[in-house]
């Protein structure tokens, strides 16, 4: 795989090949793949990646549950709590269920509610890759919420390319390189042959030209 220095140089090149804009451009990484069948389950990437250096966009999180866990989630400053009665109210209301699914980046849920959540929200959350993360009763939910603020979702979408926003131009080249590396490592673990299935790493800013480095080439 590309070294941290190679990734840093790639990001530096990506920044240098376009003039700096008046707004803080996003920086995106695109991994192109090889020797995988996009129609088969061997390309099923849906990973939560915790970036070492957070982007300016803070992830929005919803907790589904009640009681002490809901109270602790509120203390952890979760964006919303969906209690069991509110969950039940979504049954049969596809429009509202889809609205809830769109409104948050990640969902946490009381483990005991997972079967019911699957029946009521499965069709809305599943296609978006947002099935809730189960939270056992004694789990440190406050810590989980704070950690997830730095997370992004990285998904394959039936093509030989996987894209993710890894930060903004204002971040240093080395910090962005560490974020790219976190994404690459997460994707590697989900590919049948790991690194061998990654053909190239592409970096681009919002208004910039893509710059590419083939994997395996020095």
For the stretch 45-90, pLDDT in tens is 889 999 999 988 899 999 999 999 999 999 999 999 999 999 999 9
Instruction: Report residue 39's pLDDT band, with 50, 70 and 90 as the boundaries.
Output: confident
Break the chain into its structural domains and give their ranges.
4-56+152-214, 61-148
Options 3.40.640.10, 2.40.10.480, 3.40.309.10, 3.40.50.790; CATH for 61-148 is 3.40.50.790
Q: Are strands 133-135 and 151-155 parallel, antiparallel or unpaired?
A: unpaired
pLDDT of 217:
47
Instruction: Report residue 18's pLDDT band, with 50, 70 and 90 as the boundaries.
Output: confident
pLDDT of 181:
96
35-58 residues labelled b (16+ CB within 10 A) or e (exposed): ebeeeeeebebebbbebebbbeee
pLDDT digits (tens, 9 = 90+) for 186-207: 999 988 888 999 999 999 998 8
Q: Look up the CATH number of domain 4-56+152-214.
A: 3.30.190.20
pTM of the model: 0.87
Tell the burial category of 208 from Cβ atoms under 10 Å away from its Cβ (0-12, 13-18, 19+).
Answer: buried
Helix 4-16 vs helix 173-188: crossing angle, to nearest 10: 120
Residue 23 has pLDDT above 90, yes or no: no
pLDDT digits (tens, 9 = 90+) for 132-182: 999 999 999 999 999 999 999 999 877 888 999 999 999 999 999 999 999
Q: Is residue 202 within 8 Å of residue 184, measured between CB atoms?
A: no
Q: Of residues 209 and 117, which shows the higher confidence score?
A: 117
Mean pLDDT of 118-136: 95
pLDDT of 218:
42
């Amino acid at each position: 795989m590309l070294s941290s220095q190679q990734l840093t140089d790639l990001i530096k090149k990506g920044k240098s090949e376009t003039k700096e804009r008046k707004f803080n451009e996003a920086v995106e990484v695109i991994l192109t793949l090889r020797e995988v069948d996009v129609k088969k389950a061997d390309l099923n990437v849906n990973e939560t990646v915790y970036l070492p250096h957070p982007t300016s966009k803070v992830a929005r999180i919803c907790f589904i549950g009640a009681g002490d866990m809901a109270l602790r989630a509120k203390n952890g400053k979760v964006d919303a709590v969906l209690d069991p009665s509110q969950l039940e109210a979504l049954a049969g209301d596809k429009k509202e269920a889809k609205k809830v699914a769109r409104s948050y980046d990640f969902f946490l849920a009381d483990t005991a509610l997972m079967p019911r959540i699957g029946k009521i929200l499965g069709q809305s959350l599943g296609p978006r890759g947002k099935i809730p993360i189960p939270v056992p009763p004694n789990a440190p939910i406050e810590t989980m919420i704070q950690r997830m603020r730095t997370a992004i979702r990285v998904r394959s979408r039936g093509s030989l390319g996987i894209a993710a926003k890894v930060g903004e131009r204002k971040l240093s080249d080395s910090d962005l390189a560490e974020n790219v590396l976190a994404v690459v490592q997460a994707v590697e673990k989900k590919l049948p042959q790991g690194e061998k299935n990654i053909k190239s790493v592409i970096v681009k800013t919002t208004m910039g030209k893509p710059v590419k480095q083939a994997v395996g080439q020095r």
